[in-house]
Amino acid sequence: MTKTIIRGGSIFDPHTMDMRPNETLVIENGLISADSDTSSADVVVDADGQFLMPGFIDAHVHFRLATLNFSRLSQWTEVQFGIAMAQLSEETLARGFTTVRDLGGDVVGLKRAITTGMARGPDIVQANLMISQTGGHGDVESGILAVPDCACQMRHSAFGIVADGPDAVRKAARHVLRAGADFIKIHVSGGVATPMDPLDCTQYTVAEVQAAVQEATNRKTYVAAHAYTPDAIQMAVNNGVKCIEHGNLLDAETVKVMVQHDAWLVPTLVTFKAMASEGKRLGLPERNLVKNKAVLASGLESLALADKAGVKMGWGTDLIGETQSMQRHEFAIRAEIQSAESILHAMYIMNPIILKRPDSIGRLAPGMNGDVVITPINALQNIAALADDKAITQVIKRGVPVHAA
């Protein structure tokens, strides 16, 4: 048995949105305990004058996209991927993120390595391979390809499956679920990072979307869809997609549709800022930078529309490779539009629901995971300051200190 005691900090409760001062937190065998005996412990942490927050949760990451230089990425061996992903996961944990949701790419090996102690990183909820149409956002191959012999022919990579037609989408969905996906990820509009799909194009037909949704429903899970435009978002939500990723170009009518269907939105504003500032230096092609500029300009406007309409929103980043160091900057960007309470609700109330872990993450209460971020910052008073490099004093995962400033 391992027992950790954290003394003297103010505990943040996202359900009441208050700080309880001068508290003692007990963690036994990785879980928060109701045990009042604080006379002895294996680990004692002094948090006097600081604030204890549940481990941060990022609802949109891509560990497999381990560099923004896609031409270099396409030439990596699996060993290179493994080394790069292990480094990214350790850095993610050090930033305070103890649980993440990976939205596409094979991270089964990384997840297993973290679970068995071979690597350090957050707990991973994952979509496994993302599913896309030919020429869609998840079709990462460039250049001219041979014409397929039949409509049933599918291509795949370490990032996703290219599947066309309802039967192929159904098979792809069953494949990722068999591989351990916690939910299904599809693409229904163009994207920034891929070369051949305009932002404003709608991808997949109603029948194809419905095939993915049916397979998810059969497995008691849901479909998340990459989408920017009103047409794409409404088509997806009207046909059963539960979660929209990004949504930068949504409009007033679209947020009404999302509210009517109780659909979720995971904005990822920091990634567009990161690509604008670092993309050219890191090798992102000019055509991708042009697309990024379009969604960067409208991101805050879309966030404000969704917030005002009452769309249920999570908290994510979608940062790629080297830009993942900017992960906590999402706090500051969203603070330009949202209150601290709204941002913390997204991370600690909605994210556990989106990640299908409401009974284990997001709150420092008995029976929950012993994942703690210790910070000198009162997030209710100055949440943007969590973006600062020195915002984190210590990170504890399952009662074990894993990072200290």
For 56-354, CATH gives 3.20.20.140
Residue 330 reports pLDDT greater than 70: yes
> Quick one: pLDDT at residue 138?
74
User: Residue type at 372?
Assistant: V
> Quick one: pLDDT at residue 195?
67
Residue 97 reports pLDDT greater than 90: yes
Weakest mean pLDDT among 236-250, 270-284, 329-343: 270-284
Strands 243-246 and 223-227: parallel
Residue 403 reports pLDDT greater than 80: yes
> Quick one: pLDDT at residue 39?
83
Weakest mean pLDDT among 13-22, 157-166, 223-232: 157-166
| CATH 2.30.40.10 boundaries in the chain | 3-54+363-404
Cα–chain-centroid distance for residue 200? 23
Residues 11-58: pLDDT tens digits?
A: 999 999 999 999 999 999 999 999 878 888 999 999 999 999 999 999
Strands 264-266 and 312-313: parallel
Higher pLDDT: 158 or 162? It is: 162
Average pLDDT over residues 250-255: 97
Average pLDDT over residues 297-325: 95
Average pLDDT over residues 212-231: 97
How far is 230 from 225, CA to CA, in rounded Å? 13
Instruction: Give the up-direction half-sphere exposure of residue 318: CA atoms within 13 A in the CB hemisphere.
Output: 19
pTM: 0.95
Weakest mean pLDDT among 135-144, 196-205, 238-247, 334-343: 135-144
173 close to 216: Cβ distance less than 8 angstroms: yes
> Quick one: pLDDT at residue 288?
84
> Quick one: pLDDT at residue 157?
82
Residue 225 reports pLDDT greater than 90: yes
Q: What are phi and psi of 322, to 5 degrees?
A: -60, -25
Burial group, residue 151, by CB count within 10 angstroms (0-12, 13-18, 19+)? exposed
| Average pLDDT over the chain, rounded to an integer | 93
Residues 102-146: pLDDT tens digits?
A: 998 999 999 999 999 999 999 999 999 999 998 888 776 666 666
How far is 177 from 216, CA to CA, in rounded Å? 8
How far is 205 from 162, CA to CA, in rounded Å? 14
Residue 199 reports pLDDT greater than 90: no
> Quick one: pLDDT at residue 1?
65
Cα–chain-centroid distance for residue 358? 16
Instruction: Give the up-direction half-sphere exposure of residue 234: CA atoms within 13 A in the CB hemisphere.
Output: 12
**Candidates 3.40.50.80, 3.60.15.10, 2.40.30.10, 2.30.40.10; correct CATH number of 3-54+363-404?**
2.30.40.10
Q: Measuring CA to CA, which residue among 211, 207, 135 is closest to residue 169? A: 211
Give the whole-number percent of the chain exceeding pLDDT 90. Answer: 80
Residues 333-346: pLDDT tens digits?
A: 999 999 999 999 99
> Quick one: pLDDT at residue 109?
95
pLDDT category at 267 given cuts 50, 70, 90 is very high
Cα–chain-centroid distance for residue 248? 16
Weakest mean pLDDT among 14-18, 148-152, 196-200, 330-334: 148-152
Give the whole-number percent of the chain exceeding pLDDT 70. Answer: 96
| CATH 3.20.20.140 boundaries in the chain | 56-354
> Quick one: pLDDT at residue 175?
97
Residue 259 reports pLDDT greater than 70: yes
Q: Measuring CA to CA, which residue among 225, 301, 318 is closest to residue 265? A: 225
